[in-house]
Amino acid sequence: MPTTDVGESGFMHYVSSQIDPTLDWSVVDWLLRTTKLPVLVKGVMRGDDADEAVRRGVQGIIVSNHGGRQLDSAPATIEALPEVVRAVRGRVPKAYFQLKAYEIPWASTWEHSRADFEASQLDQQSKTFIKKKTTSSNGMQAHG
C-alpha cells in the first residue's frame, strides 16, 4: 500500500501506513451506484467534507475522529460538530450525535466512571442541545 512521505519518524511511518491514500470521493460515488442500502460517511470532521458528502447524495454523516483520543493533536468530535452542522445547512433531515468517553482510573483506588455526552436534535438553525450525564460505578448520577 502506498504511504505518505513522513521522513524518518518510525511512528509516523506506521501511522501513515494505516491510511489508504487512494481512497477518495469516487469510492463514495461507486458505493452509491452499487448498493440500494443507505450510505453513511464516517470520519467527517470538516464542513467542506460534510458539504461534499451531502452534495454527492449520502444519506447520513457520522462526525467522528475515529478514536483520535490517542493522538493529542486531533480535535475532539464535539469541537467539529458545529462547523459540520452549519455546512449541511439543514440538508440532512435529522441529526443525532453521541459521544461516550470512558475515564480510565490512574490508581486502583479510583472508581471507574463513565460519561455520556449526547448532542441531539440539531435543527436547521444549527442549534445544539447538549445533555451531559455522568454515572459512576457506585450508581450515583450527576446531571449538568
Q: How many CB atoms lie within 10 A of CB 90?
A: 13
Is 57 exposed, middle or buried (CB count within 10 Å of its CB: 0-12, 13-18, 19+)?
exposed
Is residue 123 assigned to a domain? yes
What pTM did the predictor assign? 0.56
Is residue 2 assigned to a domain? Answer: no
Q: What pLDDT score does 81 carry?
A: 86
Using one digit for the tens of pLDDT, what is the confidence trace for 15-72? 777 777 788 999 999 999 999 999 989 889 999 999 999 999 998 888 888 766 666 6
What is the set of active-site residues? 66
Nearest CA among 114, 40, 112, 117 for reference residue 76? 117
Tell me whether residue 45 is exposed, middle or buried, using C-beta atoms within 10 angstroms of its C-beta: 0 to 12, 13 to 18, 19 or more: buried
Name residue, grid cell 524518518: 8
Helices (H), the chain: 10-17, 25-34, 47-56, 77-88
Q: Is residue 1 part of a domain?
A: no
**Per-residue pLDDT tens over the stretch 85-115:** 889 887 876 544 443 333 333 333 333 232 2
Q: Is residue 48 part of a domain?
A: yes
Q: How many structural domains comprise the chain? A: 1
Distance CA 69, CA 75 (A): 9
- Strands 40-44 and 96-103, sheet pairing: unpaired
The dihedral built from the CA positions of residue 4, 25, 59 and 78, taken in this order, carries a sign that is: positive
Beta partners for residue 99, in sequence order: 117
Residue 86 lies in a domain: yes
Q: What are the φ/ψ torsions at residue 104 (nearest 5 degrees)?
A: -95, 125
**Domain range for residue 64?**
10-143
Q: Is residue 3 part of a domain?
A: no
